C-alpha cells in the first residue's frame, strides 16, 4: 500500500478542488459572490447559501452555520446548502453529521457532480478510500462537468491508493488528455511511475509538472528522488540546491 496523500480538490471551498484545506478536488470549488455580492438575482435560500459559503471560506464556522441554517429553513432539500453544511460539520470534526448531510445533498440531486466530488474528498480524508473511488467514478461520468480533468486526477490518486495501478494510470492519462495543463495529474503519475520503477517516464511527468506549476518543494523532492534513481547525480544535486534555497532542509 502506498502512502496516502490528500486528494487535491474539495477542500478549500473555492475549487474544490478541495480548496478549503486540501480535500481536493481541485477544480471543484464552490462559486460564490462574496460577502458583499449582489443578491438581486438569487433566491433568499441561494443568498443565504452563498453567504454561508463565503463565511466558510473565511473559516468563520459559527456564522457559516447560521447562514446555512437560514437557507435550509427556507429550502430544506437544497443540495448546495446541504453540501456546504456538510463541509461545516466536516471542519468541526462531526464526521457522522457530515456524512449524513453529504448523503442528503446527493439524494436531493443525484447529478450534483461537485457535491459528489466533495463527498469523495471527505471519504478519502477519512481513509474510506474505496468508497471515495466509487463516488469519483460516478462523478467522472459527467461529460459536461467543467473540472472533469480534476475528477479523473482525483480518481487516479484514489485508485493508486487502492493498489490498482493500471486503472490509476488510465485515469491519469484521461485527465491529461482532457486538460493537458492540469498539474496535479502529472505529480500523481510521476509518483506512480517512480514507484513502479519506470524512472524515465516518471522524469517526463515531473518535468511537465514543474513546467506547468513551478518548482514547489513537494515536486522538487520527488524530482530529486527520480534523478537519484536514474543515476543522474548532477540533476539530483541541482534539485537539492533548490530545496536548500527554499527551506534550508536537505
pLDDT at 224: 97
pLDDT digit string (tens) for 153-205?
999 999 999 999 999 999 999 999 999 998 989 999 999 999 999 999 999 99
pLDDT at 246: 75
Whether 229 shows a pLDDT value over 80: the answer reads yes
pLDDT at 245: 84
Helix (H, G, I), strand (E, B) or coil at 228: helix
pLDDT at 180: 97
- Sign, Cα dihedral of 103, 104, 107, 108: negative
Residue tagged 461537485 (cell numbers): 114
- Measured CA to CA, the distance from residue 136 to residue 129 in angstroms comes to 10
pLDDT digit string (tens) for 39-98?
446 799 999 999 999 999 999 999 999 999 999 999 999 999 999 999 999 999 999 999
pLDDT digit string (tens) for 101-129?
999 999 999 999 999 999 999 999 999 99
Nearest Cα to Cα of residue 18 among 87, 97, 71, 94 = 87
The pLDDT-based confidence of 20 (bands split at 50, 70, 90) is very low
The pLDDT-based confidence of 3 (bands split at 50, 70, 90) is very low
- Measured CA to CA, the distance from residue 85 to residue 82 in angstroms comes to 5
Whether 17 shows a pLDDT value over 70: the answer reads no
Domains in the chain, please, with CATH? Answer: 1-173 (1.25.40.10), 180-250 (1.25.40.10)
- List all residues 6 or more positions away from 59 whose beta carbon is below 8 Å from its beta carbon: 91
Q: How far is CA 8 from the centre of its chain?
A: 3
Whether 233 shows a pLDDT value over 90: the answer reads yes
- List all residues 6 or more positions away from 110 whose beta carbon is below 8 Å from its beta carbon: none
The residue ranking higher by pLDDT, 18 or 190, is 190
Cα–Cα distances (Å) from 41 to 14, 54, 66, 221, in that order, read 21, 17, 22, 48
Q: pTM for the complete prediction?
A: 0.81
Whether 4 shows a pLDDT value over 80: the answer reads no
Residue tagged 494510470 (cell numbers): 169
Three cell numbers, residue 15: 475549487
The pLDDT-based confidence of 15 (bands split at 50, 70, 90) is very low
Run of H or E including 74: helix 61-74
Three cell numbers, residue 160: 493508486
pLDDT at 248: 53
Helix (H, G, I), strand (E, B) or coil at 233: helix
Q: What is the CA radius of gyration of the chain?
A: 19
Amino acid at each position: 500500500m502506498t502512502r496516502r496523500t490528500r486528494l487535491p480538490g474539495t477542500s478549500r471551498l473555492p475549487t474544490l478542488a478541495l480548496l478549503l484545506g486540501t480535500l481536493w478536488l481541485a477544480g471543484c470549488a464552490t462559486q460564490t459572490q462574496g460577502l458583499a455580492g449582489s443578491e438581486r438575482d438569487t433566491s433568499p435560500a441561494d443568498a443565504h447559501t452563498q453567504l454561508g459559503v463565503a463565511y466558510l471560506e473565511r473559516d468563520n464556522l459559527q456564522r457559516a452555520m447560521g447562514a446555512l441554517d437560514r437557507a435550509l429553513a427556507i429550502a430544506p432539500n437544497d443540495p448546495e446548502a446541504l453540501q456546504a453544511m456538510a463541509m461545516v460539520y466536516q471542519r468541526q470534526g462531526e464526521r457522522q453529521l457530515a456524512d449524513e448531510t453529504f448523503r442528503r445533498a446527493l439524494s436531493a440531486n443525484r447529478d450534483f457532480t461537485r457535491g459528489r466530488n466533495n463527498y469523495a474528498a471527505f471519504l478519502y480524508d477519512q481513509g474510506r478510500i474505496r468508497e471515495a473511488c466509487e463516488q469519483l467514478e460516478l462523478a467522472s461520468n459527467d461529460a459536461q462537468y467543467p473540472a472533469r480533468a480534476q475528477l479523473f486526477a482525483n480518481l487516479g490518486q484514489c485508485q493508486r491508493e487502492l493498489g490498482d495501478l493500471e486503472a490509476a494510470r488510465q485515469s491519469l492519462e484521461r485527465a491529461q488528455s482532457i486538460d493537458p495543463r492540469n498539474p496535479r495529474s502529472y505529480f500523481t503519475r510521476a509518483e506512480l511511475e517512480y514507484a513502479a520503477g519506470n524512472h524515465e517516464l516518471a522524469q517526463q511527468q515531473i518535468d511537465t509538472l514543474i513546467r506547468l506549476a513551478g518548482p514547489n518543494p513537494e515536486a522538487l523532492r520527488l524530482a530529486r528522488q527520480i534523478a537519484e534513481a536514474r543515476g543522474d547525480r548532477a540533476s539530483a544535486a541541482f534539485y537539492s540546491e533548490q530545496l536548500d534555497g527554499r527551506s534550508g532542509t536537505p
